[in-house]
Amino acid sequence: MTRYIIRRLLQFIPVILISTLIVYALVFAIPGDPIRALAGDRPMSDAVRETLREQYNLDDPFLIQYFKYIWGIVTALDFGSTFNGRPVTDIIEQRLPVTATLALVTLVIQTIMGIIAGILAALYRDRFFDRFVQVSTVTMVALPTLVIGFLLQLIFGLNLGWFPIAGVNNGISSYILPALTMAAVSTGILARLVRSELLDALKSDYVRTATAKGMKQTRVITRHGLRNSLIPAVTFIGADLASMLGGSIIVETIFNLPGLGQQVFASIQGQEGTVVVGIVTLFVLFFVVINLIVDLLYGLLDPRIRYE
């Protein structure tokens, strides 16, 4: 087990190197001189410009720049700084809590709603609740995040006034609508996944045996049926958590949350390459760690799986 974890942790290194390289290349491809943009309309002497370009390694070829960047991270945990001199770690520290809260609330909502809806739909197959879950999941999955976000804003924020429309000044309730927006598609997929997996499990021999032995229905479902049908659900939740960067850019813009997604968007517009690379690296790190946790969870859910 320990050896397995260590081996997996070592595999992180090339994954992170390659993905940061791709993002670095992407950001590097942006034309224009960020130093000139920094000066704006005011005149800037050549000497100052040269010094700044030197300081940010802008005159080096692409690969050298990239290696200097990685070297800074490895040796001094230096993620670089914005062209205004603010360290990227500082920005991440300030923005991370918002996105982390958003991700956590999203995770809780989609896991609870998706799994419960899936179980109930499977148990009451072809009855009203099942039909309701099927229709609503098809709708949820087929609507873009943008549309869901605006609809929630209009209905629950504006018409009913239950939750704040934008900003983060109202504590956890500020996060409810954005999290519901992020969770909508995944909740739909999760509910369908759990429903079909549980239906398969309930038809299987070991569940029939358990029922035949006289085990209580609830215990049969929780101990035998559900346990096996949760493995694909865990895989899905993991993959979904990992893809939150794209979603957070949209959701944080719609609901005006000062999180990492909004920062990535602003930094792309301001040509602040180091900030973009720093935040994306953080997400990639998050992605590989989540994947490892998911793989370890398999062992808990399915004792046949062993880690060598």
- Enter the tokens of residue 227: 């346990």
Could you tell me which of 185, 179, 220 has the C-alpha nearest to residue 203?
220
22 binds other proteins (CB under 8 A): yes
264 binds other proteins (CB under 8 A): yes
Q: Which helix (H) or strand (E) holds 198?
A: helix 176-202
For other proteins (CB under 8 A), the number of binding residues is 38
Least separation, in Å, of the C-beta of 131 and other proteins?
11
Least separation, in Å, of the C-beta of 224 and other proteins?
26
Least separation, in Å, of the C-beta of 33 and other proteins?
12
Cα–Cα distance between 266 and 269 in angstroms, integer?
5
Which segment (97-105, 115-123, 174-182, 265-273) binds other proteins by CB under 8 A? 265-273
**Choice between 23 and 210, CB closer to other proteins:** 23
Round to the nearest angstrom and report the end-to-end CA distance of the chain: 7
Which residues partner with 81 through β-bridges?
A: 87
**Choice between 34 and 114, CB closer to other proteins:** 34
- How far is C-alpha 163 from the geometric centre of its chain's CA atoms? 23
Cα–Cα distance between 308 and 293 in angstroms, integer?
16
305 binds other proteins (CB under 8 A): no
Strands (E), the chain: none
Instruction: Confirm if 24 and 69 have CB atoms less than 8 A apart.
Output: yes
**Choice between 16 and 215, CB closer to other proteins:** 16
Q: How many CB atoms lie within 10 A of CB 37?
A: 12
Which residues in the 140-169 window bind other proteins by CB under 8 A? 141-147, 150-151, 153-154, 158, 165
* Residues forming the site for other proteins (CB under 8 A): 18-19, 22-23, 26-27, 29-32, 138-139, 141-147, 150-151, 153-154, 158, 165, 243, 245-246, 249-250, 253-254, 264-265, 268-269, 276, 280
